[in-house]
Amino acid sequence: MYVCGATVQGIPHIGHVRGALNYDVLRRWLVHSGLDVLMVRNVTDIDDKILTKAADAGRPWWEWAATHERAFEDAYTALGCLPPSIAPRATGHVTQMIELMRRLIDKGHAYAEGGDVYFAVNSFDGYGALSGQRLDEVQQGETLAEGKRDPRDFTLWKGSKPGEPSWPTPWGSGRPGWHLECSAMATTYLGAEFDIHGGGVDLVFPHHENERAQSNAAGDPFARFWLHNAWVTLSGEKMSKSLGNVVSIPEMLRRYRAVELRYYLIQPHYRSTIEYSDAALSESAQGYRRVEQFLRRVAGSAGEVHIGRLPAEFTAALDDDLGTPQAFAVLHNTVRDGNAALDAADSAKALELAETVRAMTDVLGLDPLSEQWAEVGGSSEAKALDTLIEGMLAARQQARKDKDFARADAIRDQLTAAGIAVEDTPNGPLWTVRD
């Protein structure tokens, strides 16, 4: 798998990480299905926007890129993404880019003019097959740059400009074009042909169309399958820094637990747009807490809940174009049946269903009983609530030991009035927020 990663120009927002989470679920499912997965997720660390923002901030471009690369990695890790097999940087693969340009020039698909190198779109008959673009309607760039022979041609290499970083090539010093980077990095690590190429739907044209064209024209079969995740929108517009409607990951993680944000972003189908709102995220977080509370109820009475087998319906859902909405429906139906079994004092049935729930959440990277999520703190609000309730429960336990049952009952009544249900188990009291 090759996944187009971040252009590290700023702090990541939930629109950035949605794709990373979608492809993380896909990778987990492929591994669970018995496949050995190599996953490459690149870092674009040289770009017009990086140079502009670094200059505006009075900071070196490389330091600006490295700082925000770390911010993205922190976000991926916090949200439970498995680390990629490798995360190559564009600036580390100029040698491979030069070789790819040389192959294209030798085959008549590219040309050098004034230090720039362009791909000649009209030389490749298959252009437009991925995105559905008509060749006579394509123009790449707002104006016809000097030396560019056709407005449809796109830049492989940008000639150096004063004050900008540059690397030497046989056609002059400069820096790589965006499309060239990914073709070079994908084939360096995955070979001339590989299975899956993923990215956001906004990358279909021109980025992925251009990647495919230059790679195929050079003689590489390139990606067998292309996957594109949809946007996260706010007020109907794609979430982006330029629109100023950013919901940053650091800000979100001050308000919600990382596992709840992961749950929210992977539940919809990867090809479906998510219209973000605080209300929708809060509702989704409650959905995760229902799963979590069920497992903790069973663990409190049974002592341990192992990871069981996946239901056939869950497997079928993920096998069908990674159908997470259907998979989540199976998950919640199982939780509902498990709670019913608990209410009916059928502990054996409840334990069996809890093991099935753990199996499903494990595949999705959401297992509430895993060390990963058990050790990760939540939002400040969640931590405050947990501290208050645990303190009240400790006071109640002490009152019961002191045989002050009136005080113990009064504390329980306070919790009940606040919507907190308390269940006494052999391993101590468990609390849940009632619907």
d(C-alpha 96, C-alpha 180), whole Å: 10
Does the N-terminal peptide bond of residue 165 adopt cis geometry, omega within 30 degrees of 0? no
Angle formed at CA 231 by CA 254 and CA 321, multiple of 5 degrees: 110
Question: Quick one: average pLDDT of 82-105?
Answer: 98
CA distance 101 to 252: 42
pTM score of the predicted model: 0.86
CATH of domain 277-367: 1.20.120.640
Size of the chain, expressed as the number of residues it contains: 435
Q: Is 131 a residue whose pLDDT tops 50?
A: yes
A 10 A CB-CB count for 215 gives 25
Phi, psi of 221 (to 5 degrees): -60, -30
User: Whole-angstrom distance between the N-terminal and C-terminal Cα of the chain?
Assistant: 41
Per-residue model confidence as pLDDT tens digits over 362-389: 999 999 999 999 754 445 555 566 668 8
> Where do the domains of the chain lie?
277-367, 379-435
For 231-273, what is each residue's pLDDT tens digit? 999 877 777 766 555 689 998 998 899 999 999 999 999 999 9
Q: What is the predicted pLDDT for the residue at 307?
A: 97
Question: 273-326: per-residue pLDDT in tens?
Answer: 999 998 899 899 999 999 999 999 999 888 899 999 999 999 999 999 999 999
Instruction: Name the DSSP letter for residue 9.
Output: S
Q: Is 148 left (phi over 0), alpha (psi -120 to 50) or beta?
A: beta
Beta bridge pairs of residue 229: 200
Any idea what DSSP says for residue 208? I
Residue closest to 376 by CA, chosen among 262, 282, 287, 281: 262
250 vs 393, residue with greater confidence: 250
Cα 303 to Cα 125: distance, rounded to the nearest angstrom = 64
Q: For 410-430, b where at least 16 C-beta lie within 10 A, e where not — what string? A: ebbeebeeeebebeeeeeebb
pLDDT beyond 90 at 61: yes
Q: What percentage of the chain has pLDDT greater than the value 70?
A: 92
Q: Give residue-wise pLDDT tens across range 168-227.
A: 999 999 999 989 999 999 999 999 999 999 999 999 999 999 999 999 999 999 999 999
- CB of 427 closer than 8 Å to CB of 303: yes
Q: What are phi and psi of 420, to 5 degrees?
A: -105, 120
What percent of the chain is modeled with pLDDT above 90?
74
